[in-house]
Amino acid sequence: MFKQERVHRKVLRKVKKQFVTVTVLGGLVGLGAQAVSAQEVSDQPTKVTEATELTPTEEVAVEAQEDRLDELEAPVDDEIGEGEEAPLTEADTIEMQTVSSFADTDEVKEQVATDKLATSNRAKAATDNKEQVKEAENKEKKKYRRATIMHTNDFHGRLSAKGDSRYDLGFAHVKTLADKYRELADEFIMVDAGDTIHGTNETNLSEGKNAIDLLNKLGYKAFVPGNHEFNYGLDRLLELTNNEENTFKTISSNVEYKDTGKQVFDSFVEWEVFGKKIGIFGITAQDTPTTTHPKNVEDIRFTDEIEATKKQVEQLSEQFSHLVALTHVGHNIDKKIAQAVPELDVIIGGHSHTPVISGEMVGNTLVSQAWEYGKMIGLVHLDFDEDGNLVKKTAETITLEENFELKDNRGKQENILDVLPSSTVGNTDDIKRETVEEDPEVKAMLDKFKASLDEKLNEVIGESSVDLNGARDAVRKRETNLANFVADAIREFSGADISVINGGSIRTSLAAGELTVGSVIEVLPFINTVETINIPGREIKDALEHSVRLLPEEQNGGFLQISGMKVAVDLTRPAGDRIVGVSVGDEPLDLDRTYAVASSDFTLAGGDGYNMFTKYEIANVSGELFSDAVINHIKAQKGPINPKVDGRITISDKALTDSDLQELGLTRLGAKAADQPAEGASEQATEQPTQEEQANNAKAQESQDAQKATNKPAEARSTAKEALVKEKLQEENEQKKAGVRLPDTATGAWALGLIGLTSLVSGLGTTKFARKD
């Protein structure tokens, strides 16, 4: 009885299992039918058990059949996979029917047979379908062919890995990646979207040749000049790009000579894939004359990007099956082009330093860009069917796996995702990570460049007849002869009315004697470039007030060294109202007049807290490094240089009277009548701060140093925290002067609070930003 019951429960389990499969495939209607049938069958075991008792011979037969059923299930389940039922052969069906014959209920027998047959048919259909899908996939792989474009942009001279940034791949890694994806694709080319041959000593000291050599080594096919490609002048750019030995063609269809209207560069390059011709044409930013030195492009003009694109599409559509625009105009303009010229298949861009993770579809146009400095490399994939039709367009970006696993000097984990800008387009989870080694041949080229660089750094460019003072405690609080020379060089290069440079950018002094390229770079090691803005006189006055607000403290990297101006500072007056006299040239500063001011990209972006500059658009982005401007200024001198402290900045710890200002060649500026000292008060000594006050001011200075960790406007605005610390310190000092003293416990608690707040400000600045003051 027990064995007979076990057999029937086995049959019923199989029936239920088969029904589950049938109902899943059949949908909700089958699910309801299965529930009813299962209920009917589930009532049968008791009846069967009561009706019949097996003989010993029958029991043996049942055990044999049960074992046979298990044998049938196991191998087929393994073959077809978990959750699927095996197709039953005719013999299997007979065996199942033999087992079910022990049930004395006709309904059970009929149900079992019906279910097994249905499941068998379903399973066979599923198996056939799998084979069809597999066959279709294989056919698909053979049917479509892939053409891949690897693209780079905005390297700005970062040729080697981990150059100016720890995340830079460098061209040796790019070469390895190019070799890999060249093997994976049916057709493969490389293109560059500009701003590549200028920006660091690796490129600048060879005037771009090192970068051009690398583009040739990697086998680039096309290159569009960006605005900073013109930094060496048009003649030098043409010398580099018109070389017949270049593997690539320099293309830009909207740059023409002013006198003849003739195009300066070729418009396009042809790429044939799978019997189809793809045209790749170049577009350069129309505002290039304001983003390089105007003298470098004075003989050429840059036409409207969208109109130039429309013209190219009209001219090339009959010649090419598909069109790709290689641009250096910025992602926003790329999208406008895509909207205005929907015939374009792909736009590969640069200029705005935008990470476009997986491309961005604008209408039917795929728009891609690969961030900056070689931190990422871009790929555009074009899939064609066997008839040569473009059926799919995709894009992706690549970086190194190690960029997700870096650690800082304190062992804190760092991640490339932490430095992605807010302009990033797409899902950062889609960034493709690669683990590759540097190509040895390209690495050898870079090592050779470095050796040549060392030789170049030793080049003698001039001589100084005096020691040049760049000491930290000097350039950050007063005028020095070296600071004057640097500021004069920047003003002369830019052609601006005045120049202002942060004292913290000057890093060392130089002894009298020979001056080399390397010695100038030691003085100005940062990759700061010359930019110009147009601002009213009142903003210049505010900037000067910001410059001297912490005097007489020494460690103020934001102290401004100047050229084209003369300034008088009265330290007896409160911070924010210390500038009592200013002249520009031979005229008093006009608070309402607009002046052209040259400075570094760092300072004009709000570095050192100069937020007043960020309200105005940059009038000219020269791309010229500070160090290069100074080197050229030295070379232009006839004989040894002999800069002096000429009195352009007067800082007095005694009140300055009108007669004092007249002796300096200045007139009083912006002082309130109630605050003006009486005649004769100029001899009155300024009260010196106590040691406690100096200590407290030093704490405020630490907060200021932390603030200088940023070179972006939004980051510089954290000075509010510094201001809070200073306000509290000033309040405490005033209380002490008035004879008010807090209890020792309160004083200790206040000191701890100040230290904590200052540490917080310093920590936030150091952690979030990495800048060069």
Q: Between residues 707 and 649, which one has the greater pLDDT?
A: 649
* Tens digit of each residue's pLDDT (9 = 90 or more) over 283-308: 999 999 988 888 899 999 999 999 99
pTM over 0.85: no
Nearest to residue 711, comparing CAs of 106, 190, 122, 164? 164
β-strand pairing of 222-223 with 187-192:
parallel
CB-based contacts of 481: which residues, under 8 Å, 6+ apart? 466, 468, 469, 643, 644, 645
Asked if the model's pLDDT at residue 139 lies above 70, the reply is: no
Q: Cβ(608)–Cβ(707) under 8 Å?
A: yes
Asked if the model's pLDDT at residue 730 lies above 70, the reply is: no
Q: What percent of the chain has pLDDT over 90?
A: 61
Asked if the model's pLDDT at residue 691 lies above 80, the reply is: no
Longest dimension (CA), the chain: 134
Phi, psi at 561, each rounded to 5°: -90, 145
Residue with tokens 């202002």: 500
* Tens digit of each residue's pLDDT (9 = 90 or more) over 365-403: 999 999 999 999 999 999 999 999 999 999 999 999 999
Report the pLDDT value the prediction gives residue 8, as an integer from 0 to 100.
Answer: 44
The overall average pLDDT reported for the chain is 80
Nearest to residue 511, comparing CAs of 386, 601, 640? 640
Length of the chain: 773
Residue 707, H or E segment: helix 691-707
What is the band of 723 on the pLDDT scale with cuts at 50, 70, 90?
very low
SS3 53: coil
CA 71 – CA 728 distance, rounded (Å): 86
User: Which two tokens mark 251?
Assistant: 């293309």
* Tens digit of each residue's pLDDT (9 = 90 or more) over 103-138: 445 555 566 566 666 666 765 666 667 667 656 655
CA 517 – CA 373 distance, rounded (Å): 24
Nearest to residue 485, comparing CAs of 477, 495, 475, 476? 475
Q: Cβ(339)–Cβ(332) under 8 Å?
A: no
- Distance from CA of residue 114 to its chain's centroid? 65
**Distance set, CA 485 to CA 165, 646, 725 (Å):** 30, 11, 35
Nearest to residue 539, comparing CAs of 615, 618, 477, 650? 615
CA atoms within 13 A on the CB side of 331: 21
DSSP of 88-155: PPHHHHHHHHHHHTT---HHHHHHHHHHHHHHHHHHHHHHHHHHHHHHHHHHHHHH-EEEEEEEE---
Query: CA torsion angle for 673, 678, 680, 681 (degrees, to 10)?
Result: -90
Nearest to residue 348, comparing CAs of 329, 322, 372, 321? 329
CA 648 – CA 645 distance, rounded (Å): 8
Asked if the model's pLDDT at residue 159 lies above 50, the reply is: yes
Q: Cβ(339)–Cβ(306) under 8 Å?
A: no
Show the domains of the chain with their CATH numbers.
Answer: 2-141 (no CATH), 144-454 (3.60.21.10), 462-683 (3.90.780.10), 691-768 (no CATH)
